[in-house]
Structures are given as structure tokens and as C-alpha cells.
Structure 1
Amino acid sequence: MELAWIALGIFILLAYTLEAVTGFGSIVIALSLGALLLPIELLLPILVPLNICMTGYLSWRYRKLIDLKLLLGMILPGMAVGTIIGYALLPVIDAQLAKRALGVLILVFAGRELLRLRTSSVSHARPLWQNRMITVAAGISHGLFASGGPLLVHALAGNTLDKSRFRATLVCVWFSLNSLLTLAFMLDGRLYPTLPQVAFYAPLLLIGVWLGERLHRHVNEQYFRIAIYSLLLVTGCLLLIPR
């Protein structure tokens, strides 16, 4: 078990560095890798509080870059409703089946977007009602696995945000929703037993943010998009791995 906790630390460092670069992916990466060694129900109350520490810092630092109209007008209302639904479904849903279905959706989306980038075709904006439905689905995924990023990126495909505004807006989403989930974990009693692990892994966030900030500044726009969709391909594959 000690080796499992050490490995989890490595996964956390990798995942939170990637989130500092792209604005999403920390929990889905750390959860998918960590679930190879530890139960998901044990991992979530560790990963979610760690995430609000990092995204809270990044949200405050880049608060002037947040697209408030997009955040408050479309993302947060749908994501908040979906997160509540997902959390309520936890006791009754087949988690393995839901996770694999999410993995398939991620693979289809990421593969399509990488093909589009390769052929230089334009991603057309969808009707607002479609984006709202996808955003609610992203919230349900977040309520179930604290991993709504891939579907939210799908909802935002075709947006005109540059990479810095894109990241700032996303980290504000995760700070808001994961604060809600952390409160839920506190109320249902799952948070308190994991506080020693949260404190133990917290210093890794400093390294992850330091590395991620430097990588973010040195990655150009096209490579940034490719990195996002490649990250989604990896996470989709990880979600399909039998546990």
C-alpha cells in the first residue's frame, strides 16, 4: 500500500501540472491512473480538495482573464445542475458502465477534433441549446467522477477564447464546482478521514503550478489545442481500462 500512495503522488504531480497548462484534466488523469491501485471512492475526497487549492490560486491570479459572460451565462448554471444530479445518482448508478460510456464519448470527440486540426477544417459553433445540454451532461459526469472537463471542452469547441482566457475560465469552473463537492464530502463524512493525505500531497501542487505556468507560456496556440485533444484521447483510453 505504501508503494500505491507513492505512485499516487507521482500521478498527482503529473495531472496537476497538466491542469496548470491546459485548465482541465487533473482529476480525470489522477483518478484514472490512481484507480489502477486504489479505490475510486477513496481517491475522490483526496483529489477534489487538492484541486480547489490549485484552481483557487489560479482563478485569483488570472481573474481578469475569466470570460464572465460565458462562465455565468452558460457554463456554471448547466454544470451546477448536472453536478447535483450526478452526485445524487452516485448510490444507484453502475459506476463502471457510466465511466466506460464517458470514455467512448471522449475518444469520439477527441479523435474528431484532432482530425479536424490535421485537415485545418473549421469547428462550427453549435446551437446554444445543444451546448447547454452538453454542459449539463458534463456536470453529471463531474458529480459522478469529478471529471467534467472533457465534455465541457466538447461544449466549448469552436469558441474564440485564446489559450490564456480559456484556461482562466476553466479553472474558475473547477474551483466553483469542486468547492461544492468538497462541501458535500464534508457533510457526508468522507472528507475528514482523508485530510492527512490531502495535507501530505499539497506541496506537490506548488511544483505542478510552477512547471505548468512555464509550459503554458511556451506552448503556441496550435500546439495547445493539439495537447488538449491528445490529453482527452489518453483519458478516454484510461477510462475504458477494466478495473
Structure 2
Amino acid sequence: MLLDPWLWLAAFILLAYTVEAITGFGSLVIALSLGALLLPIDSLMPVLVPLNICMTGYLTWRHRQHIHWPTLLRLILPLMLAGTLVGYGLRPWLGDNLLKLLFGLLVFWFAARELWRMARKHVATHHPVWLSRSLTFGAGLTHGLFASGGPLLVYALAGTTLDKSQLRATLISVWFSLNTSLTFLFLLDGSLLPSLHKVIWYLPILVIGVWAGEFLHHRLNEQRFRQLVYSLLVVTGALLMVKAAAW
């Protein structure tokens, strides 16, 4: 029973949502990157994406007054939705090994970059408009492929004039919108319904993770905890690339 990869995924989900509640980021990236070490990405997506809607839907409603609607509707959603549809369409053509290689590269780049920024105390600078738009479309592409557009979107919005509350609420509403769209696509392609019982089974684990994260939030040094999480992601990304290359 301990060798069952879906049982391990439950532990990864618990860790991912505990981290999300402590730091405010990373539930899908962490759960998918760890889960992809044991299971195909195509099997994980119809479970993890609908599960994420439960949390982001609640948080979107709770923080709706802070959403910066012009940024959401004029900049982020049009480009990311287009990119997501392209990424979703590409997934069947790439194969699981190439998906894991690309996802491992994305996770490794994101985590290594964050560790470098923390070590150098680097302050983000504003990107030119063309680069922000290109990165935002790329974020949508990676979201369609791996439901993990966060790393590129956060980079695309570097130096934004939005305050912390506006940026957080706007990003949460992006994930809710895009993950709802992906879940609808999973329903159409027939992959959602066979996975629905797993989504329901994992829901209490999500709640426990959020509760544990809220409990630990003020009891941990967040800076050091982030360093630990990013270090874990660097190792996980490297393992995904090695595993994919070995095949």
C-alpha cells in the first residue's frame, strides 16, 4: 500500500497546500512536480486542477475587493487564456517524457532564480511592455501544459505598480479563471469524470493542509522556510529532467 503512487500524491498535496497557506504560493507547482516523479502528468492534471479550484474560488471571493480589474481583464486574461488553449492543444503531441523534461526545466529555473534573488536581495525591475506581454502569453502556454503558469506570470509582472494585496488577489483570480477553463476542457475530453472520485477523496487533505499552514504561518521564519521550499523544488526539477532524459 505504501508503494501506491496515489497515496504518495496525498502526502504531496498535504505538503503543497500547507506551503501555500504559509507562503501564499506554489500549491500546484509543488504537488505536480513531486507527483510527476511517480505518475504521468496527464493523469495528475485532471485531479490537481479541479482540486485547486476549491481553494482559489474561495480566496477569489474573499479578496474580490482587491482585484485590479483593468490588469486582469485587459492584460493578463486575454493573453493567458490564449496561451493556455495553445498549451492544452500541444500536450497530447509532446508525450509524457518531454512534458516532464520541460516541466522539470521550468521548476528548476523558477526555484533557482528565486534562491538567487533571495541571496542577492535582488529588487525586481519593470519590464518593457512587449516583454511583459510575451512572458504573459508564455505563462498561459505553461499553464495549458502543466497548470503552472505562476513562475512566468510573476516574472512578467515584475516591477508592477500594484500593491501586495492587489497583486495577490489578481493572481488568485487568474488561477481560478484558468483552472476553471481547464477543468471544463477535461470534462469535454473525458478525463475529468474518471478522476472525480480522487478529487473528492483528496479534498479533506487540502483542508488539513490549509489549516496546518495557517497554524504554522506565524510560528516559522518565512524567509528560511521559502529557502527550504525552493531548494526542494530545485532538486525535484533536476530529478524530473534526469528521469525524462533517462527514458
Q: Shared fold (TM-score greater than 0.5)?
A: yes
Per-residue CA deviation, residues 169-212 of structure 1 (Å, 9 max, x unaligned), is: 22211110000000001011111111111111111121122233
Per the alignment, do residues 116 and 198 of structure 1 end up closer, same or farther by CA in structure 2, a change over 3 Å counting?
closer
Q: CA deviation at 1:122?
A: 2.8
Question: 1:54, 1:209 within 8 Å by CA — same for their partners in 2?
Answer: no
Q: 2:36 corresponds to which residue?
A: 35
Range 64-73 or range 105-114, more displaced? 105-114
Q: CA deviation at 1:88?
A: 1.1
Give the TM-score, by structure 1 length: 0.84
Per-residue CA deviation, residues 41-81 of structure 1 (Å, 9 max, x unaligned), is: 21111111101011101111122232323322322121111
Percent identity, aligned pairs only, is: 59
Per the alignment, do residues 22 and 238 of structure 1 end up closer, same or farther by CA in structure 2, a change over 3 Å counting?
farther
Q: 1:189 corresponds to which residue?
A: 190
Q: 2:50 corresponds to which residue?
A: 49
* Counterpart secondary structure, 1:41: helix
* Counterpart secondary structure, 2:158: coil
Within 5 Å, give how 1:64-213 maps onto structure 2. 64-161=65-162, 163-213=164-214
* Counterpart secondary structure, 1:242: helix
Q: 1:60 corresponds to which residue?
A: 61
Distance (Å, rounded) in 1 between the aligned partners of 2:48 and 2:12: 11
Distance (Å, rounded) in 2 between the aligned partners of 1:109 and 1:9: 24
* Counterpart secondary structure, 2:159: coil
Question: 2:103, 2:146 within 8 Å by CA — same for their partners in 1?
Answer: no
Q: CA deviation at 1:18?
A: 2.2
Range 233-242 or range 47-56, more displaced? 233-242
Range 218-227 or range 202-211, more displaced? 218-227
Per the alignment, do residues 203 and 130 of structure 1 end up closer, same or farther by CA in structure 2, a change over 3 Å counting?
same
Range 40-49 or range 229-238, more displaced? 229-238
Per the alignment, do residues 221 and 5 of structure 1 end up closer, same or farther by CA in structure 2, a change over 3 Å counting?
closer
Distance (Å, rounded) in 2 between the aligned partners of 1:71 and 1:219: 32
* Counterpart secondary structure, 1:159: coil
Distance (Å, rounded) in 2 between the aligned partners of 1:210 and 1:218: 13
Q: CA deviation at 1:128?
A: 1.6
Distance (Å, rounded) in 2 between the aligned partners of 1:216 and 1:75: 29
Question: 1:34, 1:43 within 8 Å by CA — same for their partners in 2?
Answer: yes
Matched to 1:159, the amino acid is T
**Structure 2 segments unaligned to the other structure (5+ residues):** none
* Counterpart secondary structure, 1:92: helix
* Counterpart secondary structure, 1:195: helix
Give the TM-score, by structure 2 length: 0.83
Range 75-84 or range 202-211, more displaced? 202-211
Name the Cα RMSD after superposition: 2.9
Per the alignment, do residues 111 and 220 of structure 1 end up closer, same or farther by CA in structure 2, a change over 3 Å counting?
same
Question: 2:33, 2:237 within 8 Å by CA — same for their partners in 1?
Answer: no
Question: 2:19, 2:27 within 8 Å by CA — same for their partners in 1?
Answer: yes
Question: 1:83, 1:140 within 8 Å by CA — same for their partners in 2?
Answer: yes
Per the alignment, do residues 72 and 227 of structure 1 end up closer, same or farther by CA in structure 2, a change over 3 Å counting?
farther
Question: 2:29, 2:148 within 8 Å by CA — same for their partners in 1?
Answer: yes
Question: 2:33, 2:107 within 8 Å by CA — same for their partners in 1?
Answer: no
Per the alignment, do residues 239 and 129 of structure 1 end up closer, same or farther by CA in structure 2, a change over 3 Å counting?
farther
Question: 2:17, 2:206 within 8 Å by CA — same for their partners in 1?
Answer: yes
**Structure 1 segments unaligned to the other structure (5+ residues):** none
